[in-house]
Chain A
Amino acid sequence: NAGVTQTPKFQVLKTGQSMTLQCAQDMNHEYMSWYRQDPGMGLRLIHYSVGAGITDQGEVPNGYNVSRSTTEDFPLRLLSAAPSQTSVYFCASSPTAGTHYEQYFGPGTRLTVT
């Protein structure tokens, strides 16, 4: 059981480039989300999805797009990378969108934008 997987592990982009961070889970979880983690700021929610075909914005959505065509996959797209998007990105999943459920996190993608 792989849980939540993320690729790539590390990425360096130039300002203005675009890329997609991949996230997949094999636990048949309905709920998936993307966070970014910056020093001194904790994890902040970027986008989330309560099921295939349904996505919504979190706390810091600007500059990012998501889609959820299958239950398993939830890619995060950076449209035009900026240095302010240098961060560690975590994908998480949860069995349902109900409250009090544990979120299972992937290992993260460390992104540097120069």
Chain B
Amino acid sequence: TQLLEQSPQFLSIQEGENLTVYCNSSSVFSSLQWYRQEPGEGPVLLVTVVTGGEVKKLKRLTFQFGDARKDSSLHITAAQTGDTGLYLCAGEFSGGYNKLIFGAGTRLAVHP
């Protein structure tokens, strides 16, 4: 059983559509990170959220950390083909010394 559940597993949409992916857990995290991974490459950090209820925006991407720090969401507005990739969330426990727990990811395909 995954400690961090990501949904949906797969998402295929047209350019210009909006989408939201979710990262859920029954555990409380001190922070949560979102990474994007492209084929044949390692994950690259998009954002770190630390405070319950925190919202961070990165151009067309909006990240939210749940009030109880157990879940997070990533919303993409007007998706572009360049958004295609695997989106991973990773939770860090208090005193975790960078020992991240990763979800299995949401694979997003944006078609022209």
Binding site for B on A (CB under 8 A): 4, 31, 33, 35, 40-45, 48, 50, 58, 90, 92, 94, 97-103, 105-108
Contacts and interface: CB of A to CB of B under 8 A. Distances in A.
Interface string B5-35: 0000100000000000000000000110100
Task: Give the interface SS of chain B, mostly helix, strand, loop or mixed.
Answer: loop
B97 A98 contact: yes
Nearest to A110: B40
Given A99-B97, A100-B48, A102-B48, A43 B41 contact: no
A97 B48 contact: no
B99 to A, nearest CB: 6
B42 A107 contact: yes
B4 interface: yes
A100 B92 contact: yes
Interface stretch (B53-61, B62-70, B73-81, B101-109): B101-109
